[in-house]
Structure 1
Amino acid sequence: MALGGNPVFRGKNFRSAVTAAPSAPPSPYAPPMTAEQLDELYRAPSAGPAETGRITYDDVIVKTLVCLGAVVLGAAVTLAVPQPIALGLTLVGALGGFVLGLVNTFKREPSPALVLAYAALEGLFLGGLTLLLDRVAPGIGLQAVLGTFAVAGATLFLYRSGKVRATPGLAKFFLIAVVGYLAFSVVNLFLMLFGVVQNPWGLRGITVFGIPLGVAIGLLAVVLAAISLIFDFNSIEQAVKAGAPRRVAWTAAFGLTVTLVWLYTEILRILAIVNSND
């Protein structure tokens, strides 16, 4: 099974749930069924995955929408309060979201409460970040939301149509590219913290051939997030086919939320850099 770059889907807990053996057959010592019970069982419709406690696509969709609703709710809180409080909530959301992200990734069993708490904290962070960058370009948040859903929708369409697949070659490219992206981000952060680069965007604000470097880096990050979504979809598809336990739907929803938050952040930053260089 080709698991993607998202650490949520590459974790031991998700993989073990997908590859777990099916439930044991009924005991041969169970009392025999009557003729009426056999006839009723024969006439009843076949049990689907939901009735047998197995994950379904509907489970993943519903739980992902619930997580995104928590993100929107958290963002609405940050946007509604006075700015000094909003800045504090943004910091709480960033730190809390990071901690709960790690906890949910490595937790033995998925916890709906912790997954939703993570989504709400990320909402606080994204709301504050949007509020801050909205000064550069009013309405930038709505543009980023539309861009996020456009990229995610196009990626899902391409995956479902079979035009793009989760292949080992794509996984290798993703790994190399994301390591390079993370290295650039860490170096850029330290250069900004120590005042080596005065531009508010750090190295991202440097113009190369008339184009801000941050736009090129951001577009690469959007492509990487889209590739991550491809592997996320593949992991979910494999989980459904393998008849993984229904609780895994929360893990899948959490993984998709992580990727979509990353995608939104990158699109938001691209728009801010473009508008700040107008």
Structure 2
Amino acid sequence: MSVSAEKPGDRGLWPGGLALIAVATLALAARRRHPVAVLVICVAAPPLYYPMGYPDGPVVLVLWVALFTAAVECRLAVSLGAVIVVNAGFLGAAVIDGDGGGDAQAIVDARGVASLSMGLLLTVALGQYVRSRRDRAEAAERRAAEAERDREAEARRRATAERLRIARELHDVLAHQISLINVQAGAALHRRDDADRADADRAYAALEAIKSASKDTLRELRGVLGVLRQADAEDPAGAVPSPSLDRVGVLLEQAAAAGLTVRRAGDLARPPGGSPGD
């Protein structure tokens, strides 16, 4: 260093010492956004401060804070480089002071540099520990977010599959009911031209059956559409069970009401292991 080293306390803080401390301290406000720039300022402060003979003050504490932030926010090489630069500056001051015939109480001696180095390295180690903890926490949060996205995607996939299944059932239900309406309407038209009163009554009965079947179709359509709107709910309102063999008797009654002759042969037993909707 080009300045002559003086003993601590040989000079008062005002104005140069306070100016250095103020600049280094104010720079800490930007240490999160610009950790490297703040570290450079704080590293330059002690080698300028102590050789001028200013008393011990917070300038080294400012350096430790900046170094800790750099160890947390930057690569390890940045903080280690700062430690090397600080030690080199103090060693240079010690050499210059020794060449000038300073005594054992000079500003910087070998033991002081060693103690400073240990403190700086411990600060770097603490910053790296905090950095590793933060990185692990962020990685865990990312994994949790990815798992949540996977669960949501799986839920959407299952909901889509359920909607497709319901759509197929809706097609089957409507095809059944509309076919029945078509048969009943044909029977009613066939009876319309008959003069016999009994045939006319049967035609009216067929029309009543058409009305009933159309109402059933609309009811089942509303129920299935309600399920489609609430496919993500555990117990959707308005759900209507899909037709099963249990409703064959109702189907036969509807056909007979239309004036058709319907016969049932055999027992429509449910297959072994079958569910009510089979």
TM-score (norm: length of structure 1):
0.27
TM-score (norm: length of structure 2):
0.27
Q: Which has the higher contact order (CA 8 A, sep 6+)?
A: 1
Return the index of the structure with the highest Cα Rg.
Answer: 2
